[in-house]
Structure formats: structure tokens, C-alpha cells
């Protein structure tokens, strides 16, 4: 659980940023950012926040939930006859401020136009990337929530391995792992589970279909859990169900070695692109560099993909408290693909691998 004192502290940080931006207030419309700043888990609710005030704008469906989830924030409940935009404009005018910043990536062009017309004279200032950087470094409560999302995912994977039959389709297997995660406390999957048998694993974003789990000797499983707290996990493992080729063995070790080297390189102060480079160089030196055609990993927390990226272009510096996936892979059209993914916390000393599903090739074997 996220302690109640976390939310005011987050809003205080944001207020200091708002002061620096020299706007009197900012309108937070992104649902995940509202949740991060207030603890409110519903939708259709915006936060107007300035250095000296904060107000949630919502509707009657959420009165009870707001008083339970964020009792310390003042709430304006709009009547059914008033739109969220009109209620917001009214509240802005009542604050007697000259300008308001808004999240330019969260509001549609049409919503901004309507808000502009509803305002009398206040200027609207587009702002991007205000709350997202705050979310990159996780506090102790968030790390605990992420740990439980990883645990639910891992229990779900055990459940899938224990349930897998030769006649199960990819789609049935994806439902099975979700059932497993729910048995261990997850609300459900944190993204559409990827269960890709043999050649289907050649597509990094394969969708589970009617292929049987026994149609090829290996299965790629990319999955994660979403908890009631909103926090998620994201993992990938291979399951070997048949007789694998020497190519598979070789590729598996190439990916595993690259992943382990990259994890070892994670430390505070290191550039994210440097970690990507370690994995990429390792795969290149093994002669299959062109088969690793995506970034190495990404930050996650309340969302599966957050603003932090570990890719060749990423200019982030790693800091203690960041949580990232490390997921190199190689893909061969028509043959299949191999990816191994763990969840890693950047610590003051270096790193801690939060996930613990075994990844030695021998441990990936499952006999039907």
C-alpha cells in the first residue's frame, strides 16, 4: 500500500517545478499522473494545482471514492448538466490567475479548443513532461508494490507451466497465465500477454492465436501482472517443450549472456544508452547483431512503458530508485525468436534484480 503521506510530498515536488516554470497553475489531465499525485484511481477527473492550492474536479459518481482515496485534497464535484471542461474553466476563473499550464500530450486538440473558448481571458500554456520525470524514481512504497506485481506474475508463470498441455492453444495459454496471476492477487494482465509458439516468436509483438503449444519445440512468454494499487510487472521467459536445435541452444546463450552483461552494467550515474550498448555489442560480437531489432528495455511502474527508455538514443542517466526491464532478443522470420526479460531496480550500490524466474536453459525445459 502507498502510505497517505506519499501523495502530498509528490504534489509538493510538483509545486516547486510549477514555480520554476513561472506559470501560476497547471492542469493535470493525464489519468495516471492524477493517480500518482493524489491516489485517486478513477477516471474523468482533473487536478488543478498551483504553488498555494490544489483542487480535483470530478463528478457525482466519484464523490465517495474521492473521499476514501484522497481525503486531504479539496474536491469540486460538477453537476451532471456541466461538462468537465466548463467546470474546470469556472474553477480557473475563480482562482483569479492570468495563465494556466496544461499537459499538451494528455489533452486532445478539440478539448484544448473548448477549454480556450470557455475561459474568459486566462492564457493556456502547453507543457510537456512535467509529472513523468517525477515518476521515474520510485519510492519505497512503489518498489514494494512492484515487488508484489512481480510475485503475482511469477506465480502465474508457475501456474501456466503446471497447466500446460500439448493441445493448449496460444490463446488458451494466455488466459491460463492470467487466471494464475489473479489467483495470486493480480487484477489481471498488465498488457496483452504474448504466448508465441515457435515461428510465431519471430514477431516481437505477436498476438496469441490458435497455434498449439506442441506445434514447435519452444514457446516465448512475455507477460506481467497489474495489481489493485495500479503497479505492474513485465517479464519474458522461454519454455522448451520439445527437442531443440543447436541453433536454438546457441541463440539462447547469446541472448542470456547479453542480458546478464547488461544487468551487471546497471549502476547509478550510468547513461541508459550505455546499458543498451553493452547488450547490443555482446549480441553483435556473437554475429547476430542485426537480429536484435528493438530497444533493450524501459522504465515501468503505474504503466508498463514509462518515459525512461534504455535504447541507443536514450539520454537518461540512471538513478537509484529507477526500475527498468532488461530484455534483449534475437528474431529470425520463419524460425522464431528468443527473448529473456527481467525487472531490475537501480540501487545506490548498483542494482537489484527483482525477478527470480530461473533462466538457465535446462530450467526452461518442460516435458509434456
Q: Which is nearer to a copy of itself, 89 or 107 (CB)?
A: 107
C-alpha 313/C-alpha 317 separation (Å) is: 12
Task: Write each residue from 144 to 183 as x if it is in contact with a copy of itself (CB under 8 A), else as -, in one continuous string.
Answer: -------------------------------x---x--x-
Q: Which of 354, 325, 347, 355 is nearest to 267 (CA)?
A: 347
Question: Does residue number 105 form part of the binding site for a copy of itself (CB under 8 A)?
Answer: yes
Cα 13 versus chain centre, distance: 22
At closest approach, how far in Å is the CB of 290 from a copy of itself? 12
How many CA atoms, within 13 angstroms, populate the side-chain half-sphere of residue 85? 13
At closest approach, how far in Å is the CB of 251 from a copy of itself? 20
Question: Does residue number 110 form part of the binding site for a copy of itself (CB under 8 A)?
Answer: yes
C-alpha 44/C-alpha 59 separation (Å) is: 8
Which residues from 24-63 bind a copy of itself, rule CB under 8 A?
61
- Pick one of 76, 77, 91, 112: the residue that binds a copy of itself (CB under 8 A): 112
Q: Which of 289, 308, 288 is nearest to 298 (CA)?
A: 308
- Pick one of 76, 111, 143, 365: the residue that binds a copy of itself (CB under 8 A): 111
C-alpha 180/C-alpha 43 separation (Å) is: 28
Give the pairing type, strands 225-226 and 309-310: unpaired
Question: Does residue number 191 form part of the binding site for a copy of itself (CB under 8 A)?
Answer: no
At closest approach, how far in Å is the CB of 58 from a copy of itself? 12
Question: Does residue number 133 form part of the binding site for a copy of itself (CB under 8 A)?
Answer: no
346 to each of 137, 189, 226, 326, 343, how far by Cα in Å? 9, 25, 21, 12, 10
At closest approach, how far in Å is the CB of 204 from a copy of itself? 7
C-alpha 144/C-alpha 148 separation (Å) is: 6
Task: Write each residue from 276 to 295 as x if it is in contact with a copy of itself (CB under 8 A), else as -, in one continuous string.
Answer: -----------------x--
At closest approach, how far in Å is the CB of 109 from a copy of itself? 5
Question: Does residue number 315 form part of the binding site for a copy of itself (CB under 8 A)?
Answer: no
- Angle (CA) 201-204-208 rounded to 5° is 55
Q: Which is nearer to a copy of itself, 119 or 267 (CB)?
A: 119
Question: Does residue number 1 form part of the binding site for a copy of itself (CB under 8 A)?
Answer: no
Residues 6+ apart with CB under 8 A from 269: 317, 318
Helix, strand, or coil (residue 71): coil
Question: From the CB of residue 64, how many other CB atoms can be counted at a distance below 10 Å?
Answer: 9
Question: Does residue number 108 form part of the binding site for a copy of itself (CB under 8 A)?
Answer: yes
Q: Which is nearer to a copy of itself, 102 or 157 (CB)?
A: 102
Question: Does residue number 64 form part of the binding site for a copy of itself (CB under 8 A)?
Answer: yes
At closest approach, how far in Å is the CB of 173 from a copy of itself? 12
Give the pairing type, strands 123-127 and 99-103: parallel
Question: Does residue number 203 form part of the binding site for a copy of itself (CB under 8 A)?
Answer: yes
Question: Does residue number 321 form part of the binding site for a copy of itself (CB under 8 A)?
Answer: no
Q: Which of 338, 366, 299 is nearest to 133 (CA)?
A: 299
- Pick one of 8, 51, 199, 204: the residue that binds a copy of itself (CB under 8 A): 204
Q: Which is nearer to a copy of itself, 128 or 363 (CB)?
A: 128
Q: Residue count at the site for a copy of itself (CB under 8 A)?
A: 23
Question: Does residue number 128 form part of the binding site for a copy of itself (CB under 8 A)?
Answer: yes
157 to each of 22, 154, 182, 341, 356, how far by Cα in Å? 49, 5, 11, 13, 11
Q: Which stretch binds a copy of itself (CB under 8 A): 70-78, 107-115, 148-156, 347-355?
A: 107-115
Question: Does residue number 102 form part of the binding site for a copy of itself (CB under 8 A)?
Answer: yes
Measured between its terminal Cα atoms, the distance across the chain in Å is 40
Binding stretches for a copy of itself (CB under 8 A): 61, 64, 80, 102, 104-113, 126, 128, 175, 179, 182, 203-205, 293
Amino acid at each position: 500500500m502507498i502510505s497517505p503521506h506519499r501523495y502530498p510530498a509528490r504534489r509538493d515536488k510538483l509545486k516547486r517545478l510549477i514555480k520554476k516554470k513561472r506559470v501560476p497553475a497547471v492542469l493535470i489531465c493525464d489519468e495516471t499522473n492524477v493517480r500518482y499525485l493524489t491516489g485517486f484511481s478513477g477516471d474523468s477527473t482533473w487536478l488543478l494545482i498551483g504553488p498555494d492550492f490544489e483542487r480535483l474536479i470530478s463528478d457525482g459518481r466519484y464523490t465517495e471514492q474521492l473521499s476514501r482515496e484522497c481525503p486531504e485534497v479539496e474536491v469540486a464535484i460538477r453537476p451532471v448538466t456541466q461538462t468537465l471542461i466548463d467546470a474546470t474553466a469556472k474553477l480557473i476563473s475563480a482562482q483569479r490567475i492570468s495563465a494556466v499550464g496544461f499537459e499538451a500530450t494528455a489533452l486532445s486538440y478539440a478539448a484544448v479548443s473548448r477549454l480556450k473558448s470557455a475561459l474568459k481571458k486566462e492564457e493556456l500554456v502547453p507543457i510537456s513532461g512535467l509529472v513523468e520525470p517525477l515518476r521515474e524514481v520510485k519510492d519505497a512504497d512503489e518498489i514494494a508494490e512492484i515487488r508484489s506485481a512481480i510475485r503475482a506474475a511469477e506465480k502465474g508463470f508457475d501456474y501456466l507451466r503446471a497447466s500446460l498441455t500439448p493441445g493448449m492453444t496460444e490463446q488458451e495459454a494466455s488466459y491460463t497465465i492470467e487466471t494464475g496471476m489473479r489467483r495470486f492477487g493480480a487484477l489481471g494482465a498488465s498488457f496483452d500477454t504474448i504466448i508465441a509458439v515457435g515461428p510465431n516468436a519471430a514477431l516481437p509483438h505477436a498476438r496469441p492465436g490458435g497455434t498449439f503449444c506442441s506445434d514447435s519445440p519452444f514457446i516465448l512468454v512475455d507477460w506481467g501482472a497489474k495489481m489493485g494499487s495500479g503497479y505492474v510487472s513485465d517479464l519474458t521467459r522461454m519454455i522448451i517443450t520439445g527437442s531443440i536445435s543447436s541453433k536454438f541452444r546457441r541463440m539462447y546463450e547469446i541472448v542470456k549472456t547479453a542480458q546478464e552483461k547488461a544487468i551487471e552494467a546497471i549502476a547509478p550515474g550510468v547513461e541508459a544508452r550505455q546499458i543498451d550498448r553493452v547488450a547490443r555489442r555482446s549480441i553483435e560480437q556473437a554475429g547476430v547483431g542485426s537480429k536484435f531489432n528493438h530497444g533493450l528495455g524501459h522504465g515501468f511502474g503505474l504503466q508498463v512503458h514509462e518515459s525512461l527508455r534504455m535504447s541507443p538514443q536514450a539520454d537518461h542517466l540512471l538513478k537509484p530508485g529507477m526500475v527498468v526491464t532488461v530484455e534483449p532478443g534475437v528474431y529470425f522470420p520463419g524460425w522464431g525468436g528468443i527473448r529473456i526479460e527481467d525487472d531490475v531496480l537501480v540501487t545506490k550500490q548498483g542494482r537489484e534484480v527483482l525477478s527470480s524466474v530461473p533462466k538457465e536453459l535446462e530450467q526452461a525445459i518442460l516435458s509434456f
